[in-house]
Amino acid sequence: MMVISSRGVEEWRQGWTVVLGASLSIACGFACFPFVSSLFIQPLESEYGWSRGEQSLVQLIYIGASMLTPIFGDWVDRVGVRRVGLIFMPLVGLCFLALAAMPGSISVYYGLTAMLVIAGQGTTGVVFTRAVVGAFSRTRGTALAVTRIGVSVAIATLPALVFAAIRHFGWPAGYIAMAAVVFGIGVPATWLWVREPAAARPVEGRDAPGLIAVYGPLLKNGKVLLLSATTALMMGPIVGLISQLQPLLVGKGLPGATAAAGASVLALAVVSGTIVTGVLIDRVWAPLIGCVLTLVGAAGCLVLFLSASLTPAIALMAVAMVGVAQGMELDLVGYVIVRYFGLADFARIFAIGIMALGISSGLSSVAFGITFDQTKSYDLMLGVAAAALSVAAFLFLLLGPYPAEEAGG
């Protein structure tokens, strides 16, 4: 039975609104779009003739945007979470509206997607989890897990909402639905509830030494690089798989509606992975949890790889296994950063990992799309994904024991 100490109860009494605000903000920002983006592939292919490989090239934009993530991390650590969130959350909503109104030019599609991805960096866990880790210490892992639940609920509900909007009103309605979520929930949540405790806020008027001076020492830290590489190998292939999830499952023999429901199954598995991770990392060495759940994800990729045709039950079970691994990402990486490196450079270190993840996920997503165009199958990339996750599981264990004390935590 889980027992929360009096200190932990007091943390939740003071900080539950921060968790609520961060959870809703992340869920209603850019973070959930990759889970619904595959729903637009076939409608855009049908209406404009854009192949899946051509559409997957937008993932190169993710790579470019990921290179900007350290700038966002530095902003957050210097000016605070709320300011950054209130600037970029509305911009994400406007980008969705612009995509809904785009003409049949793939160049315009690439340009608007670039704007969405860049603005989206200011609405992700790099930004909002800093408020959570600053408000919690004794129950930090649990708080991060609860924060993640908002994303999981959004992933479970948004695919059905967007799919229905596209089916009844066309693909522009899918983007309009995403914009409605941003402006209806994301912006108000950021405004009302995202606050950093006074002790965790950036110091006003602090000199900005420049990105090279800030990031140089971090990029020379072996554990920072190891964690970033592990994050990239763990999450990049999963993001690539998710970017083609609906057509991938159709190719494995599932009906279109059942394949679309795969995103909801994924979301429920993400919830499970999130809760398990959050509860355990407050009690068990976090890299061990990362290793085990990453191997679960690798096994899910392997199941999808080994069969040309799957029953709905087996296919959705494999998707759930991938979702369990995906569910640990936010809370585990955030927890590990604070335990090994402290709070002062939290967003910057997180940003380095997200930059590596952005490069990995962009390349992986492009590879999934182009592989299908060339072979009419995703199997090659499913095998690569299983191998990459297996390597990531081993790398978690190389992080070693926690430092004796948390710096700045």
| Alpha-carbon gap, residue 220 to 326, rounded angstroms | 28
Residues 6+ apart with CB under 8 A from 171: 40, 43, 44, 47
Angstrom CA distances, 337 to 85, 144, 330, 386, stand at 21, 12, 11, 25
Residues 6+ apart with CB under 8 A from 175: 96, 97, 99, 100
Q: Among all chains, which residue has been given the structure tokens 């700045």?
A: 408
pLDDT tens-digit map of 94-126:
999 999 999 889 999 999 999 998 999 889 887
* CA 125 and chain centroid, separation: 7
CA neighbor of 52 nearest in space, from 403, 368, 388: 368
Residue 4 clears pLDDT 70, i.e. is over it: no
Q: Is the dihedral of CA 233, 237, 240, 242 positive or negative?
A: negative
Helix (H) or strand (E) holding 260: helix 256-281
pLDDT tens-digit map of 366-381:
888 889 888 888 999 9
| Helices (runs of H) and strands (runs of E) counted in the chain | 21, 0
DSSP-assigned letter for residue 136: -
CA neighbor of 183 nearest in space, from 96, 93, 100, 117: 93
pLDDT tens-digit map of 165-177:
999 999 999 999 9
| Alpha-carbon gap, residue 205 to 202, rounded angstroms | 9
The pLDDT assigned to 100 comes to 96
Give the percent of the chain with pLDDT over 70: 93
| Alpha-carbon gap, residue 401 to 407, rounded angstroms | 15
| Alpha-carbon gap, residue 144 to 350, rounded angstroms | 14
Higher pLDDT: 261 or 244? It is 244
The pLDDT assigned to 5 comes to 59
Q: Among all chains, which residue has been given the structure tokens 């199941």?
A: 303
pLDDT tens-digit map of 281-312:
888 999 999 999 999 999 999 999 987 778 88
Residue 228 clears pLDDT 80, i.e. is over it: yes
Query: 144 — phi, psi (to 5°)?
Result: -65, -35
| Alpha-carbon gap, residue 107 to 120, rounded angstroms | 20
Angular region, 74: left φ>0, alpha ψ -120 to 50, beta rest: alpha
Residue 407 clears pLDDT 50, i.e. is over it: no
Angstrom CA distances, 76 to 48, 135, 203, 205, 208, stand at 40, 15, 11, 14, 12
* pLDDT-derived band at 409, boundaries 50, 70, 90: very low
70 and 215 Cβ atoms separated by less than 8 Å: yes
The pLDDT assigned to 201 comes to 59
Judged on CB neighbours under 10 Å (0-12, 13-18, 19+), 252 is buried
Residue 220 clears pLDDT 70, i.e. is over it: yes
Residues 6+ apart with CB under 8 A from 258: 249, 312
Higher pLDDT: 256 or 94? It is 94
DSSP-assigned letter for residue 195: -
Higher pLDDT: 138 or 91? It is 91
| Alpha-carbon gap, residue 278 to 42, rounded angstroms | 36
> Taking the domains of the chain in order of start, what are their residue ranges?
14-196+212-397
Angle of the 346-375 helix axis to the 222-243 helix axis, nearest 10: 40
Query: Which CATH number is associated with domain 14-196+212-397?
Result: 1.20.1250.20
DSSP-assigned letter for residue 203: P
Q: What is the mean pLDDT of the chain?
A: 85
Residues 6+ apart with CB under 8 A from 178: 33, 36, 96, 158, 162
| Alpha-carbon gap, residue 77 to 83, rounded angstroms | 11
pLDDT tens-digit map of 119-162:
998 898 878 888 888 888 778 878 887 887 787 788 778 888 89
Angular region, 196: left φ>0, alpha ψ -120 to 50, beta rest: beta
Q: Give me the amino acid identity at 276.
A: V
Q: Is the dihedral of CA 166, 304, 28, 189 positive or negative?
A: positive
Q: Give the chain's largest Cα–Cα span.
A: 60
Rg, C-alpha atoms of the chain = 20
